Structure 1
């Protein structure tokens, strides 16, 4: 990494240290804040509940793979307050290691001059796409990048069939772990499996042998998901697992087309400098044969990741996080191998580094600080009686220590239009049951939000007006969250 004299001490560091430092710099303002994103604190809360004997799907409902909750169980074992710091430290380490893998992939493509900067670009663009914390792809990008490193084109292509088969098994095992962190990784896993079979065919292996290897590779990739199903089936919750993990995904209502188009446009706008770098890298002169094969492989992988992004719709910012790994790897070609593009690319990285910090600080101001969240927790208190979070931070259940009155802890599952008919319960019927039978002592509610089911909110507001009184209003970023207590 060539540097200004002021940065020469950093340039003298080994690559892993440079990328670790970059990960810390890009995330320094985030550590300890439980309001980075509602998703990741919910994962921590579900993991905490599981450790306390409340199983996912049957006890607390969500549709994420069990592997994600097992991953979050590591920080949750230290308590949710310390767990916030620990999961964010784990995410920073995962991001730095993924950046290191990206640099190594760029090395193998002959783009060593831009390899370290490609890893830095990954860390920078994470902050633009909700990857500043512990979103699922921040964790699963690492095993997927490791799988790619194991089987990407290189000198190993000419090794013995048994060695290639073993490397394929290891790679597909890593892909299987990635799938159990988030199911969208299946597209990249399928790409790797097809690539492995095509390579065997190209090297002259017999079709029967290729088919047998393909079955073995697929079985290894599916094994983690099969183990998860068996674990819940043995506990008598196999049906709950199948519905939450698969059926409910297909039952969700699509967002309005104009909203989906807008979300995709935002992703493309954020990624446009990297896409431009990839285009310039594609137009580079052909290198040596092994390097050229590696470059074609990286672009094919990029296509598979793009398919995974496009397949599920909605296109929230963090859905594009898996795309960053192959995109940054091929961007290294522009950074290190394109004479006219290098200066422009480094300028774009510097600009997006500064802008990314502004984006993160803006999100913290919008969503709330750790101090504001702590004040809300104190306002709820740890007294007797159960809690119902109609809308607001779901982790209030864990941090208040109060019991829950429904298995739908994530507020959107009962309050958002796109979840109507997709969670295994009628939203209105469950809401009426909560207030008529469970009778929570404390109810938490924020103002209306985009995508909220207005008739459901009307039910909640009527119930709160009838039986509850405001006990405090707490600022949380640009929102006000109201705590109600039963009269």
Structure 2
């Protein structure tokens, strides 16, 4: 019996693994999959040399994300690139497996494996082909959702507390999960009220849920307070985001429209699946939670601007799970579901090829790294790939490693430093090498002009190399 029950599960896991490898193979070993991941890997590497996020390397992302990247960064470059991408692959397979198991639990077994495959394939369309934060924390969020269902089924508080502990860890990977976490907590409180009808028990349980969900953030804050960097932690994590200037409305609308376009098929299937199975005589009551979760995930994404494609990745968890109801129907199972998944798979590969053409690949990056070189002196990537710091092992002259923090208009007044003053300070320090990409949308022209003027005084252009669809310039200081 054990063998016969486990064989389909093993087969499903193998299928999900093979699909994930095939879907993501084009990205393996590429150090420039996405600018975000380049910076995360830089920060993880810097932490091994004693740097503190928010103090020595500035950003708004919580410490947990950098700790995740510090693990593969310990392997060095380039092995660490493979390390974080394999780590992401394992997270994707685990999440897809959990989606399929959740679909099993909710009575949609015939579409469960297809739902897990859909999750894997949709990642490529939404910027999740590498190591974006939701690629890692989605596994924790669906684990929290499973525990909430366990709390309801067993009429017990412990699984609910464990669920909110997982949410707390997620918050230290990406704060934007806070809305989903609040909805999860409210669901648990509603279940508690139905169980006990005791205001005292409700307040006590609610306080415990809040405490466990905020514990990881409190620990992080306590560590920074202990080293005398509470102000740096507070500003980077919670205050700076309110000072950031909004992107132009047309750009915001275009980003949101792209996200909606990509998500609309799977969300439509999810809504149809929930509607058509809602009143079935044998429908598990747990499907109500999935509907609430889907709504919360969508609202949670809409609340946080700007809307980049990968911001929609959390919606895939409840959407793919609920879509199993349609993907497993007799009318879909034989033709429509395979056809849909094939189209999404092909679309994902086209997206990956287009992004590689746009952003560049390992060969172009290796040529650029060689042009920068590993000689003495510090590097200043005014605009371009922050992975160059890691690949060339050159020092940085500022804690503002992300080029946009100093050059982008959106960040003016939102990083705790005057952008022009910091650029001027870096240039006075005479970096040995300066890297610049062409002017880009949203860049401050004055910042670009300032650096170009400095390059005309004591620097020479030593290389003009292609990186995707751009030409990157490398300037070196004249002795």
Contact 1:44 1:80 in 2 (8 A): no
Report deviation, 1:290.
7.3
Segment drifting more, 121-130 vs 452-461: 452-461
Task: Name which of 431, 435, 438 aligns with 1:440.
Answer: 431
Q: Which residue of 2 aligns with 1:122?
A: 119
Equivalent residues in 2 for 1:140-151 (5 A)? 140-151=137-148
Give the structure-1-normalised TM-score.
Answer: 0.94
1:157 aligns to 2:152 (yes or no):
yes
Report deviation, 1:80.
2.9
Equivalent residues in 2 for 1:402-413 (5 A)? 402-413=394-405
Task: Name which of 71, 74, 78 aligns with 1:74.
Answer: 71
Report deviation, 1:203.
2.1
Distance change (3 Å), C-alpha of 1:233 and 1:200: same
Q: Which whole-Å CA distance do the structure 2 matches of 1:263 and 1:107 have between them?
A: 34
Q: Which whole-Å CA distance do the structure 1 matches of 2:225 and 2:9 have between them?
A: 54
Report deviation, 1:82.
0.9
Task: Name which of 285, 288, 297 aligns with 1:293.
Answer: 285
1:34 aligns to 2:26 (yes or no):
no
1:480 aligns to 2:471 (yes or no):
yes
Name stretches of at least 5 consecutive residues in structure 2 with no aligned partner: 1-6
Equivalent residues in 2 for 1:78-117 (5 A)? 78-117=75-114
1:238 aligns to 2:230 (yes or no):
yes
Equivalent residues in 2 for 1:312-327 (5 A)? 312-327=304-319
Report deviation, 1:337.
3.3
Distance change (3 Å), C-alpha of 1:449 and 1:207: same
Q: Give the match's secondary structure for 2:286.
A: helix
Q: Which residue of 1 aligns with 2:131?
A: 134
- Give CA deviations for 1:196-220 in whole Å, capped at 9, x if unaligned: 0001112234121011111111110
1:353 aligns to 2:345 (yes or no):
yes
Q: Which whole-Å CA distance do the structure 1 matches of 2:366 and 2:116 have between them?
A: 35
Q: Give the match's secondary structure for 1:184.
A: helix
Segment drifting more, 463-472 vs 94-103: 463-472
Q: Which whole-Å CA distance do the structure 2 matches of 1:151 and 1:391 have between them?
A: 45
Q: Which residue of 2 aligns with 1:382?
A: 374
- Give CA deviations for 1:74-97 in whole Å, capped at 9, x if unaligned: 101111311100000000100110
Q: Which residue of 2 aligns with 1:4?
A: none
Segment drifting more, 334-343 vs 290-299: 334-343
Q: Which whole-Å CA distance do the structure 1 matches of 2:333 and 2:290 have between them?
A: 20
Task: Name which of 261, 271, 282 aligns with 1:269.
Answer: 261
Q: Which residue of 1 aligns with 2:455?
A: 464
Number of residue equivalences: 472
- Give CA deviations for 1:307-330 in whole Å, capped at 9, x if unaligned: 111111210001101111111111
Name stretches of at least 5 consecutive residues in structure 1 with no aligned partner: 1-9
Q: Which whole-Å CA distance do the structure 2 matches of 1:130 and 1:208 have between them?
A: 45
Contact 1:284 1:337 in 2 (8 A): no
Q: Which residue of 2 aligns with 1:60?
A: 57
Distance change (3 Å), C-alpha of 1:79 and 1:297: same
Give the structure-2-normalised TM-score.
Answer: 0.95
- The CA RMSD measured in Å over matched residues stands at 1.7
Report deviation, 1:338.
6.7
Report deviation, 1:347.
1.7
1:195 aligns to 2:187 (yes or no):
yes
Q: Which whole-Å CA distance do the structure 2 matches of 1:450 and 1:106 have between them?
A: 43
Q: Which whole-Å CA distance do the structure 2 matches of 1:66 and 1:48 have between them?
A: 14
Q: Give the match's secondary structure for 1:29.
A: helix
Contact 2:133 2:173 in 1 (8 A): yes
Report deviation, 1:169.
1.4
Q: Which residue of 1 aligns with 2:18?
A: 21
Contact 1:48 1:80 in 2 (8 A): no
Report deviation, 1:446.
0.6
Report deviation, 1:434.
1.1
- Give CA deviations for 1:117-153 in whole Å, capped at 9, x if unaligned: 000000000001110000001001010110101112x
Report deviation, 1:443.
0.4
Distance change (3 Å), C-alpha of 1:338 and 1:312: farther
Q: Which whole-Å CA distance do the structure 1 matches of 2:278 and 2:28 have between them?
A: 44
Distance change (3 Å), C-alpha of 1:340 and 1:379: closer
Contact 1:377 1:400 in 2 (8 A): yes
- Give CA deviations for 1:354-376 in whole Å, capped at 9, x if unaligned: 11011101111211110110111
Q: Which whole-Å CA distance do the structure 2 matches of 1:401 and 1:346 have between them?
A: 47
1:451 aligns to 2:442 (yes or no):
yes
Report deviation, 1:340.
5.9
Contact 1:143 1:178 in 2 (8 A): yes
Q: Give the match's secondary structure for 2:461.
A: strand
Contact 2:278 2:287 in 1 (8 A): no
Q: Which whole-Å CA distance do the structure 2 matches of 1:159 and 1:308 have between them?
A: 28
1:417 aligns to 2:414 (yes or no):
no
Contact 2:252 2:306 in 1 (8 A): yes
Distance change (3 Å), C-alpha of 1:458 and 1:38: same
Contact 1:334 1:342 in 2 (8 A): no
Segment drifting more, 119-128 vs 203-212: 203-212
Contact 1:387 1:403 in 2 (8 A): yes
Q: Give the match's secondary structure for 1:470.
A: strand
